[in-house]
Structures are given as C-alpha cells and as structure tokens.
Homo-oligomer: A and B are copies of this chain.
Amino acid sequence: MIKSHSWYNGQIKPSEDITISPNDLGLLRGYGLFDYFRTYNGKPFQWDWYWQRFKGSADLLNIPFDMKQEEVSEILAELYKLSSAEEVAYRFLLTGGDAPDSSTMTKPNFLIRSEKLSEMPSESFEKGISIISHEYSRDMPTLKSTDYKRVMSLQPAIKAAGAVDVLYHTGGLLSEMSRSNIFLVKDNQIKTPATGVLRGITRRTVMELAKSDFEVSETDLFLKDIFEADEVFTTSTNKKVLPVTKIDNVSIGNGAAGAASKEMLARFDEFIVNW
C-alpha cells in the first residue's frame, strides 16, 4: 500500500491532511493546470519532457510559476521515498491561488502529490476498448488545464453506449480522446492528429519508438478515416498503447487488437523496462 504524501506550497504532509481553501481560483474559476506522470524503476518517466510542458502551460495560462526543475526533482524523490512503494504516480496541480474576493489572482497554489498507480486491466490491452465520438474541442487544448467538465457530464451517455471513453472531433476533424491521444494505423502508416490536441508525452514516446519501422505522421484526420483504418489505438500515461476496437458501436478493422498496436505496446513495455 502506497503512503501518499503531498507537497503543498512548501510543506510535505500525508495527503489526507491537505486541505484547500474554498477561495482557491482553481475551484472557483477553473483557473488551474495539472499534470500526471509516473515512475518506472523508481524514476519519473520522461521527467524532462513533463517539466518543459508544464512550465510552458503555466506561461500560456499566465500563472506565475518560478520553481526550478532541480527543486521539484528533489520533492519528487522525497515523496517517492515516503511512499514506501515500488512505483508511484505523481500529480501536479497549479492554480491561481486563493482569492478572498473570488476573482483576483494573488499567489499561486502548487500541489505535488504521490498517488497509487492507476492501471488498466490487462484484458483491455488484449481485447481493446469501446468508445463514442462527440463534437467538442477543449479550450486551449495544448495545455493540460483542469477543464474536464465535458467528459464528466458525458459519463451517463458513455455508460449507456457500453463504452469507456469519448473521442472528440470538430465537424468530423478528429482531435483527441478525453484524456489520451488517438492514433490510426493504415497499411504501414501510423497517423495522429496534428492540431487541437495535447502534445502527450506517451504520444511523443510512441512516435519515437515507431519511426524505425513505420511511416509516422501528424496530420488532419477525420471520423471517416477511422472506419477505413486497419487499427486504432490510444496513448496516455496509464493507457500506454491501448487498442480501440469499437467506435460508436462500429468495429474498427477486424474488431480485434491489431498487430501494429500490439507491436507498439511491446516496444513501449521494453522501453520502460530499461528506463
């Protein structure tokens, strides 16, 4: 059992002892960023990439954030030690801080928390998952803001469709799933949407790992392309490379996890063993 701890504005405590003010602008005004990553072999996976993206997102959202990477690295190591776990997930949460007047930014609040890993059932990797499509694009999609109200409000629709997640598009132009990136495989090509997406770190890792044997591209992709694809898979920290076998109740390819998806999952699993 992981002993989850949190660093909050300079202090480390057991996570259950952390409380937030109701004046936090992340809560009152949705003015917040987060990130989520994990260790492999006790080391934060792709930490440099996560750090760069997070700093850039804070800049784009105009939340002042002046911590140094080395300082945060030390906090990650300390939280890992306190966790007594082999592997942990980390969550960053940066908000506009407490605003007694409910709207004026003062000093940001920053939380770093170690968490129990959330892993997909192995069956999902073997059989693939079923998703639905929905017309929507996240506001400021290149940043990992805390704005997930759309997918939260779609939970009953997702459940009713017997699906587990949602794929967003704008007039048919694909962008991303609610918390992961999407890839299509056709012949020996692996393609993923170029715009309107979070530049996922697992996405980037998978593209690197694929390019020795596949033609990899970031390009415009449409809903209709899905139904002509051989395979579809999605990537994220906890989904790694996860086959998507059904969209809007229509089977993709032959309806089973495809060879390229399995190959990329194998490469990813090999890569993390040696991380």
Per a CB cutoff under 8 Å, which of B62, B140, B156 touches A155? B62
Chain B residues near A181 (CB, 8 Å)? none
- Evaluate contact between A27 and B21: CB separation under 8 angstroms: no
CB proximity of A93 to chain B, nearest CB, Å: 7
- Evaluate contact between B153 and A29: CB separation under 8 angstroms: no
Complex: how many Å from CA A62 to CA B159?
A: 13
- Evaluate contact between A152 and B29: CB separation under 8 angstroms: yes
Chain B residues near A156 (CB, 8 Å)? 62
On chain A, which size bracket covers the interface? Answer: 35 or more
Chain B residues near A93 (CB, 8 Å)? 22, 27-28
Complex: how many Å from CA A8 to CA B19?
A: 15
- Evaluate contact between A152 and B27: CB separation under 8 angstroms: no
The verdict on A30 contacting B102 (CB below 8 Å), with A20-B21, A22-B18 known, is: no
Chain B residues near A96 (CB, 8 Å)? 152
Complex: how many Å from CA A8 to CA B91?
A: 27
Chain B residues near A152 (CB, 8 Å)? 25, 29, 31, 61-62, 96, 105
Complex: how many Å from CA A60 to CA B157?
A: 12
Chain B residues near A155 (CB, 8 Å)? 62, 105
Nearest B residue to A6, CB-CB: B22
The verdict on A149 contacting B147 (CB below 8 Å), with A20-B24, A27-B93, A155-B62 known, is: yes
CB proximity of A91 to chain B, nearest CB, Å: 7
Nearest B residue to A156, CB-CB: B62
Complex: how many Å from CA A15 to CA B22?
A: 9
Within 8 A of B (CB), among A58-113: 60-63, 91, 93, 95-96, 101-103, 105, 111, 113
Chain B residues near A147 (CB, 8 Å)? 29-30, 139, 147, 149
- Evaluate contact between B91 and A30: CB separation under 8 angstroms: no
Complex: how many Å from CA A175 to CA B146?
A: 24
Complex: how many Å from CA A136 to CA B153?
A: 21
14 cross-chain CB contacts under 8 A: A27-B146, A29-B146, A29-B149, A30-B146, A31-B149, A31-B152, A31-B153, A61-B152, A62-B152, A91-B102, A105-B152, A139-B150, A140-B150, A140-B153
List the 8 closest pairs (A to B, CB-CB), nearest first: A19-B19, A29-B148, A30-B147, A31-B152, A30-B30, A20-B20, A27-B27, A62-B153
Extra pairs beyond A27-B32, A60-B153 (20, CB < 8 Å):
A18-B22, A19-B21, A19-B22, A20-B21, A26-B27, A27-B27, A28-B93, A29-B152, A32-B149, A62-B155, A62-B156, A96-B152, A103-B148, A105-B155, A139-B139, A139-B147, A139-B149, A139-B150, A145-B149, A147-B149
